[in-house]
Amino acid sequence: MEAKFFRFLKIVGVGFKARAEAEGRLLYLKLGYSHEVELTVPPAVRVYCFKNNVVCCTGIDKERVHQFAAAIRSCKPPEVYKGKGIMYIDEVIKKKEGKRSK
């Protein structure tokens, strides 16, 4: 399968990891929950994990690739105070200031 469309996701956080199994058909995410999040990859999409914190979704159908990347991101969207979570590589998160003590 020749992949034409890519979507890279970055996982930020202590202990947050991703691993792909079954030739890119299953994706396991450790996101600080009591269990691993298991995602089944759609037929026209392949998933690769570079290091433990970079996930690449590739495929020949742009809509399916981006839809699955959005499904991965929705498991733990980026947080605005500490910046932890799953975000796209080219995404910029504006961090908010915390409460100020007087």
pLDDT tens sequence for the chain (102 residues): 567 899 999 999 999 999 998 887 899 999 988 999 999 999 889 999 988 899 999 999 999 999 999 999 999 999 999 989 999 999 898 999 888 877
The predicted structure's pLDDT at residue 99: 86
Q: Which CATH class is domain 5-88?
A: alpha beta
Residues 46 and 39: beta-carbon distance below 8 Å: no
The per-residue pLDDT for 4 is 87
Count CB-CB contacts under 10 A for residue 1: 10
Phi/psi of residue 24, nearest 5 degrees:
80, 15
> In the prediction, which pLDDT does 6 show?
92
User: Which sequence spans correspond to the domains of the chain?
Assistant: 5-88
Q: What SS3 class is residue 78? A: coil
Dist CA 85 CA 77 (whole Å): 5
pLDDT at 98: 86
